[in-house]
Amino acid sequence: MALDPSNGYSATRDLQRFQEITLPIFNVVPVQLQFTIASDFVAAQVANNVLILALSNGRIIRIDLDNPEEIDDIDLPKKTSEVGVIRRMFLDPTASHLIICTAGGTTAAENYYLHTQSRQPRPLSRLRGVSIECVAWNPSLPTASTREILIGATDGNIYEAYIETATEFYRKEDKYLKSLQKIPDGPVTGIWVDVVPSKPGTDTRRVLIATQDNLLHLMGKIGKASHEGGASIYTRLFETEHSFVHEISKVSNTAASSLVISPDTLDSTQIEAISPDRSFAWLSSQGVYYGRLLTTPSTPDLGNKLFSESKLLPLSQLPFGTSGTGRKKAVHDSIDSIALTQWHILHLIGGRLVAVNRLDDRVVFDEVVLDPGHHSLGLFADQQKNTFWLFTTQEIFEITVDDEDRDVWEFMLKTEHFDAALRYAKAPMQKDAVATAYGDYLVSKGTFLEAAGVYGKSSKPFEQVALAFVDNDQQDALRKYLLAKITTFKKSFVMQRMMIASWLVEIFMSKLNSLDDMIITKAELSETLSPMQTKEQLDTIRIEFQDFLKKYKSDLDRKATYDIISSHGREDELLFFATAVNDHNYVLSYWIQRERWTEALNVLKKQTEPEIFYRYSSGLITHVATDLVDVLTRQSNLTARKLIPALLNYDGNFRGPLSQNQAIRYLLHVINQLHSDDAAIHNTLVSIYAAHPSKDETALLNYLETQGDEPNFDSDFALRLCIEHHRVQACVHIYSTMGQFLQAVELALSHSEIELASLIADRPVSDPVLRKKLWLTVAKKVISQANGIKTAIDFSKRCDLLKIEDLIPFFPDFVVIDDFKEEICTALEDYSRNIDVLKKEMDESAQTATNIKIDIAALDHRYAIVEPGEKCYACSLPLLSRQFFVFPCQHAFHSDCLGKKVMEQSGLGKGKKIKELQISIGKGMVVGAKRDAAIAELDSLVASACILCSDFAIKRIDEPFVLANEDTNEWAL
């Protein structure tokens, strides 16, 4: 059950440093634990950040260091007087399984099992009476059950067991227990099992067994595991495989003995960098025997190799010190406990903690950590969390590791393990020292290429390294060195980067030329390099050079680079560099100067900058006009007028038909597809059409007709060109679009184009006078050329405006009237019919005038009926209250209301006249006949028309129905 903090159970982790040490790789930090019980620790274990403490009163305390406020207090099912005190505990690396061993009280030794999710230890009946010394957990680290584990006993027996959590009371925790082997030389003090890589489908495991004077290595295949855990899997291994034994002479039966394994590394690269295998350490009476847990090769001889590469750290190499009692410890005194870190062996000697570097057996830490009289329980390592602990009967210490691998690089450098030294060097000075030494070592061995890459990361003087490669004629190594060195300079080191980059270009060119020469001469580069391999190397170097240009093109001076590459005659590389730096002008100029039009066009196809097209179109259109126009038509961002010089230059040299003229094709594309209205474009097209030597004007006329009456070209310019090149039909069309129909007709007639002149004469439909004049001009030309009077007469019938009398002046004086007597008679008959029609219209007009006079006379006798309650349409007051007017439309108004309305809507002059008449009549300024005349005039001005039906109402159509000062409720529905 969880402990109640109110009872005084609490645990806090004190991270204050216990004391300062000279080399602070290891720090001893006390973990402050406070309990309300007065009982010492008798056993302890730590795994996966979980502390398990056994008290002398038989109670077990479980503390989760991630949440130290919660403490579990667990009691054994039997009293201490019955089973004895807890002697040992074994906790698996996941902190899921705990085996508790007692010393035996009134009965035989008892063993209990406790699962992490349980609060009640259960007895292991099959292990009753077995004094457990060590446990090898299953390598797969299961959490639901232990699966197959190995147990080493005090009597030398090795057992295989399978323990699981039993939910029912009557079920046993231990499913089976099988004795595998008995070691005759006393207790089994340590045991370890791991998996050795082997062929797929096989499970090969290695077992290390430690006693006080022997260390056994056993490796082989195991049996198939049963899901129910009902059968042993290690029997086959122990019965069939031969074990390798490392034996020492027994010095003391009381000396401590144990087997420890290095914990899991938090950084996988540390182990892989220098030691891909875990390490072991066997504590014996002679000292500490340690080495790597080799996993390869997975052959039966692996144990022999493991022991041959391991070494002993004897007691004599450990430093002298004082014990907790103050007396000098002898050299032969035994070690109480050991633990392995990633690079060190921790020794607990009395109250002193001694740390030895496994690489060079150098002592890096030696301090007294326990007060006199304190008895330690040993050193412990958390395999998964990589933490280390020291337990005493009253205190707990955490041994923190700080920058443990700080000196690894130096040892690796001394032993010439340069790759490992580079990995573990952290400070720039350390990495530089390793790189410099590594490079010197490689040069001494003659491996210049490998040395070049290493030198590139060092600070060794540039000139020394470069001269070393030059003196030894190692151009490849020099190239590799320069490529590595240029990466070490920042962008701000412009001159250094430019110098190295330019030098690299020179080296690359020399290398490519030498390979080309060898291919041409079919010589071999070396005894082992064939011409085919030389070609492959050439391709590799070329790709490497291209990658270099892409990456460092900004560090190269264009002119200098062009000069270097050109001096070696490397055309492909020259063009690649120009392309890489986007110097398309250089590439295009290069191909055009060599009249390689196809290559130049291929470069132009990839461009989008308009200026490039303007610059190089003149040279390309003369030789690859069709392809160039294809490219130009795909560019929508070009200003077509800037291409006019190239188009005119092409047209000046073109001798084919208009249908194949690419300048016309492009101009039509700009006009029809891009809808250009630029006069320069249209004028250029007209000039090309007009200047073509062909007499056919169809193409030009089609274009002119598509332009309509408002063309985009300059009409005067086009007219001059057409006149200059004798394009009659085009000139006539242009005159016509300009509205100069007479000039158009005269021009057509001057070239005897009667039909064309006739078409033009019919165009001014809205101007009959001009149209008749044009037709007369055409008729005059026709009559002058006609072979007979009949032909001239037939032509005159084409226009409805021409009469025979209009044509008579154009006939010669000697023409006899008999030749067109019929036409004259027809004309006279038409005149006669017209006279009769006019006479009839005059009679109808006279009759209409008579009827109008009768109607006017009848107006004096018209009247209108006014109802008694009728109102004025202006003021809505009774109409009969004062003088009024009634109109034929039945609208009636008071005379003054009507006058006011008329004055509002009439002009200034009429309103002024009405006001003057009203004043003169109202004040009696006129009398007699003048008064009557004034009244009649006033009535004619005011009552000339109804203001609601006549023009007055039409003029007020924009006024709203409801004015702003009116009540809108009257309009509500």
pLDDT of res. 1: 30
Q: Tell me the H-state helices in 377-456.
A: 408-414, 418-424, 428-444, 448-455
pLDDT of res. 275: 46
* Structure tokens that stand for 443 in this block: 């040069």
Cα gap 790→288, rounded to integer Å:
144
Q: Left (φ > 0), alpha (ψ -120 to 50) or beta: where does 350 sit?
A: left
Low-confidence ranges of the chain (pLDDT < 50): 1-22, 268-275, 322-332, 525
* Structure tokens that stand for 235 in this block: 């029997």
Cβ-based neighbours of 426, under 8 Å, separated by 6 or more: 406, 409
Cα gap 172→126, rounded to integer Å:
9
- Domain ranges for the chain, please list them: 26-32+251-405, 408-574, 590-826, 861-971
pLDDT of res. 269: 44
* Structure tokens that stand for 585 in this block: 């002008």
Cα gap 745→760, rounded to integer Å:
6
pLDDT of res. 356: 93
* Structure tokens that stand for 866 in this block: 């006014």
Closest CA to 715 of 690, 676, 679, 748: 679
Could you tell me how many residues make up the chain? 973
* Structure tokens that stand for 909 in this block: 């002059």
pLDDT of res. 281: 96
Cα gap 916→921, rounded to integer Å:
9
Element counts in the chain: helices (H) and strands (E): 34, 32
Helix axes 428-444, 448-455, angle to 10 degrees: 160
Half-sphere exposure of 384 (CA within 13 A, CB side): 13
pTM value is 0.58
Cα gap 761→344, rounded to integer Å:
117
Distances (CA, A) of 893 to 421, 873, 918: 122, 6, 17
| 334 contacts 256 by C-beta, under 8 angstroms | yes
Paired residues of 529 in beta bridges: 526
pLDDT of res. 152: 95
Give residue 833's identity as a one-letter amino acid code. Answer: R
Cα gap 433→435, rounded to integer Å:
6
* Maximum Cα–Cα distance across the chain: 173
DSSP assignment letter at 669: I
Paired residues of 382 in beta bridges: 387
pLDDT of res. 16: 36
Distances (CA, A) of 760 to 695, 743, 755, 785: 22, 10, 9, 19
Residue 949 has a CB neighbour count (10 Å cut-off) of 14
| 122 contacts 76 by C-beta, under 8 angstroms | no
